[in-house]
Amino acid sequence: MGQVFSRIAVTAGLAAALSLPAAAATSTWQIDPAHSSAQFAVKHLMISTVRGAFTSVKGSVQLDDKDVTKSSVEVTIDVNSVDTRQPDRDKDLRSDHFFDADHFSTITFKSTKVEQVSPGKLKVTGNLTIRGTTKEVVLDVDGPTAPVKDPWGNQRIGVSASSKVIRQDFGITYGPGMIGDEISITIDAEMIPAKK
């Protein structure tokens, strides 16, 4: 009789254990600013394309290793790091004509939804804030890549994301007819495991 009860107890315990949800397999990655940037492109006088970048990009990704759609991302871009290779133009971009860096020193993105389109391709929806105005945007994302080790033994992954926004939606209205309305955005980010 004791053996019967023991078997029942073991069976019940095993069933209870199997009914528990599996522990979430998540990892936290942080953007490596030295190997990441956010580029943009906009038409000038409707005849040429001006390209530039923000060279200071920070952020983190909570990556669900079993279900990428449960992942999340946050990015912060330093407006003062804008670089179009023309100092006078960069100064104008930091002014209240455009990004108004004195009052709005950062551009931020915080994801709200991640969708798997195909292997290695995602759509990431989130809130983009520029000049204090927040709008929903969708990023087309390639990645994340499989982890690789750098020469120093550190794990690294990468993503490339792109989208298009209308600058007037974020209160940037200066220079109608001179500067295009649509801005193409590309973010190339290399990430390393977050320090514990």
Q: Are 169 and 135 contacting, i.e. CB atoms less than 8 angstroms apart?
A: yes
Segment holding 50, helix H or strand E: strand 48-54
pLDDT at 1 over 60: no
> What architecture (CATH level 2) is domain 24-193?
Beta Barrel (2.40)
> What does the domain layout of the chain look like in residue ranges?
24-193
E strands, 55-176, in order: 57-64, 72-78, 82-83, 106-118, 121-130, 133-142, 148-149, 155-166
CA separation for the pair 185, 42 (Å, rounded): 9
pLDDT at 185 over 60: yes
Of the two residues 66 and 7, the one the predictor is more confident about is 66
Of the two residues 22 and 159, the one the predictor is more confident about is 159
What pTM value is reported for the model?
Answer: 0.85
Between CA 99 and CA 107, with CA 104 as vertex, the angle to 5 degrees is 75
Q: Are 183 and 21 contacting, i.e. CB atoms less than 8 angstroms apart?
A: no
pLDDT given at position 195:
83
CA separation for the pair 28, 40 (Å, rounded): 27
Q: Are 109 and 74 contacting, i.e. CB atoms less than 8 angstroms apart?
A: yes
Q: What is the pLDDT of residues 84-121, one digit of tens each?
A: 999 999 999 999 999 999 999 999 999 999 999 999 99
Between CA 101 and CA 56, with CA 97 as vertex, the angle to 5 degrees is 35
Q: Which residues of 157-185 are buried (b: 16+ CB within 10 A; e: fewer)?
A: bbbebebebebeebebeeeeeebbeebbb
